[in-house]
Amino acid sequence: MTTSSRFLRLADILGSKKAGIPPMIPVSRATWYAGVADGRFPKPVKLGPRLSMWREEDIQRLVREGAL
């Protein structure tokens, strides 16, 4: 059985009022990037020179564990 990773953009994780996306993790952008830098939040996967995304399973694990 092959599993495929789904990737999430930052707006999918933090939400976007403009696009009507509710937050999965209700923190500010600055708090998110500070958490990535100090290891509290998962590091992004670079898919291109200007495109960073996060693995959905990493974000779901973070929400499940309540490590916010």
**pLDDT greater than 70 at residue 32:** yes
Per-residue model confidence (pLDDT) at position 66: 79
Mean pLDDT across the chain: 92
Q: How confident is the model at residue 5 (pLDDT cuts 50, 70, 90)?
A: confident
- Which of 53, 43, 57 is closest to 3 using CA atoms? 57
pLDDT higher than 50, residue 42: yes
- 53 touches 5 (CB < 8 A): no
pTM, to two decimals: 0.84
**pLDDT, position 4:** 66
